[in-house]
Structure 1
Amino acid sequence: MSDFLIEKPIPYYEQFYHSIKKMIFDGTYKPGERIVETQLAKQFGVSKSPVREAIRLLEKEGLVIVDDRSRVIVYEPRIKDVEDIYFCRMALESFAVNLMVKTASDQEVEEIEKTLDETEKAILQAKEPAAIIALNGQFHRLIVQFTQNKRLQKQVDDLKSLTQFYRILNFQKQNRAEIILQEHRSIFTHIKKRDEEKASQEMITHLEHDLIHLKNILKKRT
């Protein structure tokens, strides 16, 4: 038998899901803005079904809200929402780093350090914010991944889309990238020393600082 493989085409609803999600993250669709399904379907020459399915996935992740009149509205963060999400992140990620320090291999620890070095390089080269934000997210993702705890990973993954939404919002302010990197390196210092308690506390402190910064941004907006 030959090694020929037929690649399965990406379903329309997945394409719409990723496209709409990207437009929410890059600000093409603003918080509170309405997304009209019929207009999207007409614009791309497809039926409403794949657009509706994409919206359903985005609603499940919390990035859009379907109101009582069936209008699709881009999620608009509230201070209470941010507090709730960050409370969950503090609980989950402080536990994750504690567990990861105990179980991760030296090679995995080196991979986290490499991510921090790549982040510093990206900042020095003044790369696009999206690239630096992605590396910041990778730092947190690797910590959870290296716990080898699938159920913990799923709990964190359930918050992934809103976490990314907040991560982009949190990037506002001069020298914000440098501040975040410095706090990540502080966490890593204790990871490398295999001091799970201090690493866990530094993670909580880092997320507390993020929360304060985000709340200030939202207060200024209102």
Structure 2
Amino acid sequence: MSNVAFDNRNLNEKIYYYLRDKIVSTELKPGTRIDYNEIANELGVSKTPVRDALQLLQQDGLIEVKSRSGTFVSVPKVKDIEEIYEVRKALERLAIQLAMTNLPKQTIEQLYQNALDVDKDINAGNFHSFFQSDRNLHKTLIIYSQNSRLIKIMESIEAQMHWIGVIIAHSQERPRKANEEHKEILQALLNSDILLAQNLMEKHIEGIKQMTLKDFK
């Protein structure tokens, strides 16, 4: 790892986001042992803010502490995946219903055009834009729900959802299929067919759940 320096403002939070990004992007792969001293030396900080940041990551379910063994990047478990995606299905179905009274048609059109552009990158084996597009679509619907509690709950599981998504996207077929489903959902929204959009979203998330479970069972 390259040496990275942080100032002392909001140090715990800076380290938290720095490590979270490494975990979510799988630069730190599931099962990787976390070395406090190595992180502290790399960032030029003491072990105390590193420990505090790791406690936050543990609350997120992204790391786990094993007695007598150490601290490790979590390995997703079947129960975790089932719970996350069941909650996500219910919340995103509701988000569509609430968002449609606030969501400008121009925004939906932009999301649809973005999904079309992403197809080219997927065909070239570049998934980065797909992950960005995926997060943007789902986050836009959540934000436009204008329901603060719904938004807060989704934020609490967002890192885990993105992390699992990166782990399973090891072929072109999964991102390609997901992007096709995104376009179907957006087309339903453009047609103001809220029920169809909700059903397609629920099917989309259930499909991701089943693909993920297949990998981890």
Please give the residue correspondences for 1:78-157 in structure 2 after superposition, counting only pairs within 5 Å. 78-124=77-123, 126=124, 128-157=126-155
1:192 alignment counterpart: 190
Please give the residue correspondences for 1:1-222 in structure 2 after superposition, counting only pairs within 5 Å. 10-69=9-68, 71-124=70-123, 126=124, 128-219=126-217
- In structure 1, stretches of 5+ residues that fail to align are 1-7
What's the CA shift for 1:15? 3.3
What's the CA shift for 1:186? 1.1
Aligned partners of 2:26 and 2:167 also within 8 Å? no
Amino acid at match of 2:94: F
**Alpha-carbon distance in 2 for matches of 1:150, 1:116:** 27
TM-score normalised to structure 2 length: 0.86
What's the CA shift for 1:156? 0.9
Aligned partners of 2:24 and 2:159 also within 8 Å? no
1:5 alignment counterpart: none
**Alpha-carbon distance in 2 for matches of 1:115, 1:143:** 15
**Alpha-carbon distance in 2 for matches of 1:71, 1:36:** 8
Amino acid at match of 2:136: Q
**Alpha-carbon distance in 2 for matches of 1:13, 1:132:** 30
What's the CA shift for 1:159? 0.7
Aligned partners of 2:24 and 2:160 also within 8 Å? no
Q: Deviations over 1:50-74 (max 9, x none)?
A: 2112112211211111234583221
What's the CA shift for 1:144? 1.0
Worse overlay, 61-70 or 143-152: 61-70
Structure index of larger Rg: 1
Amino acid at match of 2:164: Y
What's the CA shift for 1:82? 0.5
Q: Deviations over 1:97-153 (max 9, x none)?
A: 1222343222332232233234234335x2632332121111111111122222211
Percent identity between the two aligned chains: 28
TM-score normalised to structure 1 length: 0.85
**Alpha-carbon distance in 2 for matches of 1:115, 1:10:** 36
